[in-house]
């Protein structure tokens, strides 16, 4: 079964709703000008919550074929949880995806593996595909090797899910995020392969075969093709480079320079 590559732009806390409109329109035009074949790669943008309604309206009105996602959601569905955003609200806004357990949430907001698991369940309750982020710090890599931390994080996140659960996994080594210190394609493949084995153990062979695993951490136009050549890397979760129209468009068009 061929997995459709997914190139996902995690804007983090950048671009207000007006800047978001200009950005999405420009990205769309840039891909059109380049005669990019829609559907060869799935493109998803993950704006801040305050932009989502605006971006949804734009994608809909201009028939722009990008998927829309949020950067987080509440583990709860409704109630007295000041400042939280329910998956129910996100699914009403046509959010097909939600990033869960990004290392910045784990680090700055104390999200544990158990919180991540609860949020994964919440996303699935509302028909939203969770993009489950895992990855090790440099100290953890030195202490327990390249795969142990990500494998354990993923086991907890997937526990108890049905075999047909629709999820995306993102392997993002913490030491490579926003640092310019990119993992090698071989390092990415080693962990992504181990994560696919975990999906197989927990959810079964079909899930392992169909689930997309992304690499994230200092992805750029100049290095995406090498990652995409690896058999267990099905796309990228892109931070900094997803805020630059030409750079992100070039990442999306990696198939044109995959042989380079
Ligand atoms: P980066 O961020 O591409 O800026 O390293 C990736 C991410 O945090 O998802």
Q: What is the pLDDT of residues 13-45, one digit of tens each?
A: 999 999 999 999 999 999 999 999 888 899 999
Q: What is the pLDDT of residues 46-60, one digit of tens each?
A: 999 999 999 999 999
Task: Give the CA count within 13 Å in the CB-facing half-sphere of 157.
Answer: 33
Quick one: pLDDT band at residue 195, thresholds 50, 70, 90? very high
Residue whose CA is at the smallest distance from ligand 1 atom 7: 239
Residue 124, in any domain of the structure: yes
104 CA to middle of ligand 1, Å?
10
Distances (CA, A) of 113 to 32, 120, 133, 137: 41, 10, 10, 15
Residue 1, in any domain of the structure: no
Task: Choose which residue among 177, 179, 221, 237 to substitute to test ligand 1 binding: the one with the highest number of ligand atoms within 8 A of its C-beta.
Answer: 177
Quick one: pLDDT band at residue 257, thresholds 50, 70, 90? confident
Contact 55, 46 (CB under 8 A): no
Residue 106, in any domain of the structure: yes
pTM of the predicted protein model: 0.97
The closest-lying atom of ligand 1 relative to the alpha carbon of residue 178 is 5
Residue 43, in any domain of the structure: yes
**Count of CB atoms within 10 A of residue 81's CB?**
12
214: domain CATH number is 3.20.20.70
Contact 131, 90 (CB under 8 A): no
Task: Choose which residue among 217, 220, 247 to substitute to test ligand 1 binding: the one with the highest number of ligand atoms within 8 A of its C-beta.
Answer: 217
Q: What is the pLDDT of residues 90-108, one digit of tens each?
A: 999 999 999 999 999 999 9
Evaluate if residue 240 carries a pLDDT over 90.
Answer: yes
Residue whose CA is at the smallest distance from ligand 1 atom 2: 239
Total number of domains constituting the chain: 1
Contact 253, 36 (CB under 8 A): yes
| Residues annotated as catalytic (active site), given as ranges | 102, 172
Task: Choose which residue among 9, 10, 72, 106 to substitute to test ligand 1 binding: the one with the highest number of ligand atoms within 8 A of its C-beta.
Answer: 10
Residue whose CA is at the smallest distance from ligand 1 atom 9: 239
8 CA to middle of ligand 1, Å?
10
Q: What is the reported pLDDT for 1? A: 63
**Residue 22's domain spans which residues?**
6-257
Instruction: Dig out the tokens for 33 from the structure.
Output: 């000008």
* Backbone φ, ψ for residue 6 (5° rounding): -125, 120
Residue 220, in any domain of the structure: yes
Helix (H) or strand (E) run with residue 236 in it: strand 235-238
Query: Which position has the token pair 């009403």?
Result: 92
* Pocket around ligand 1 at a 6 A CB cut-off: 10, 172, 177-178, 216-219, 237-241
Q: What is residue 52's three-state secondary structure? A: helix
Residue whose CA is at the smallest distance from ligand 1 atom 3: 239
Contacts of 82 (CB under 8 A, 6+ apart): none
């Amino acid at each position: 079964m061929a997995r459709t590559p997914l190139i996902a732009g995690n804007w983090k806390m950048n671009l207000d709703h007006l800047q978001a409109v200009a950005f999405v329109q420009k990205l769309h035009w840039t891909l059109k000008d380049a005669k990019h074949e829609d559907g060869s790669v799935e493109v998803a943008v993950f704006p801040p919550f305050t932009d989502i309604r605006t971006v949804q309206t734009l994608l809909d009105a201009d028939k722009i074929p990008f998927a829309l996602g949020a950067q987080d959601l509440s583990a709860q569905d409704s109630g007295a949880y000041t400042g939280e955003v329910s998956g129910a609200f996100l699914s009403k806004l046509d959010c097909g995806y939600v990033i869960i357990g990004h290392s910045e949430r784990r680090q700055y907001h104390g999200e544990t593996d158990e919180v991540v698991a609860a949020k994964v369940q919440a996303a699935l309750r509302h028909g939203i595909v969770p993009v489950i982020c895992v990855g090790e710090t440099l100290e953890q890599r030195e202490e327990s090797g390249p795969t142990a931390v990500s494998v354990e994080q993923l086991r907890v996140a997937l526990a108890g899910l049905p075999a047909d659960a629709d999820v995306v996994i993102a392997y993002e080594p913490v030491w490579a995020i926003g640092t310019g210190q990119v993992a090698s394609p071989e390092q990415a493949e080693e962990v992504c392969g181990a994560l696919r084995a975990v999906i197989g153990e927990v959810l079964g062979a079909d899930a392992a075969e169909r689930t997309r695993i992304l690499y994230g951490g200092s992805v750029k136009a100049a290095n995406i093709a090498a990652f995409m050549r690896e058999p267990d890397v099905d796309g990228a979760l892109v931070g900094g480079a997803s805020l630059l129209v030409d750079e992100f468009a070039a990442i999306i068009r990696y198939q044109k320079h995959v042989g380079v």
